[in-house]
């Protein structure tokens, strides 16, 4: 059974990270790339936002009994296969996991310009939050909890 409170808490944290990233996206690109403090904060917010999405995906996969996903990216693809999120969003979110992996595991080789450019690509993360939020609200109402 889906733990609605847990999913909501995770989604709120992702939304908070996205608000932070949106604020930084309004800055001149060079102010991010050339400032290690800002850059580090942006990287961390990306990591935690994507981690939050992964935690939601893993929880839904486990709660629905779809078995353990083969990978973190597969957890997001499973949500697409089961109609929880649109298929195109599942593919984009799986790619976000790759970006997170680069930030976490390949941080030495990260092109900081690419990180700054990703600030313009946070809409898919927002779409994930809104889609899952709507789904959780719908399920909650259907189950008589609303």
Structural fold of domain 4-142: 1.20.120
The whole-number pLDDT of residue 45 equals 98
Contact 103, 109 (CB under 8 A): no
The whole-number pLDDT of residue 108 equals 73
pLDDT 10s digits, 53-111:
999 999 999 999 998 999 999 999 999 999 999 999 999 999 999 999 999 998 778 99
Structural domain spans, the chain? 4-142
- DSSP SS3 for 35: coil
pLDDT, averaged across the chain: 93
Question: Rounded to an integer, what distance in angstroms lies between the CA atom of residue 70 and that of residue 86?
Answer: 20
pTM over 0.75: yes
């Amino acid at each position: 059974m889906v733990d609605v409170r847990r999913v909501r808490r995770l989604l709120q944290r992702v939304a908070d990270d996205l608000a932070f990233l949106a604020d930084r996206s309004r800055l001149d690109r060079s102010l991010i790339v050339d400032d290690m403090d800002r850059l580090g904060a942006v990287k961390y917010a990306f990591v935690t936002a994507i981690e939050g999405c992964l935690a939601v995906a893993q929880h839904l996969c486990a709660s629905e009994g779809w078995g353990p996903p083969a990978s973190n990216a597969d957890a997001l693809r499973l949500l697409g296969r089961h109609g929880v999120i649109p298929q195109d969003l599942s593919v984009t979110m799986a790619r976000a996991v790759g970006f997170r992996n680069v930030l976490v595991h390949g941080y030495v080789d990260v092109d900081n310009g690419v990180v700054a450019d990703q600030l313009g690509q946070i809409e898919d993360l927002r779409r994930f939050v809104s889609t899952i939020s709507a789904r959780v609200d719908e399920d909650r109402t259907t189950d008589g909890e609303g």
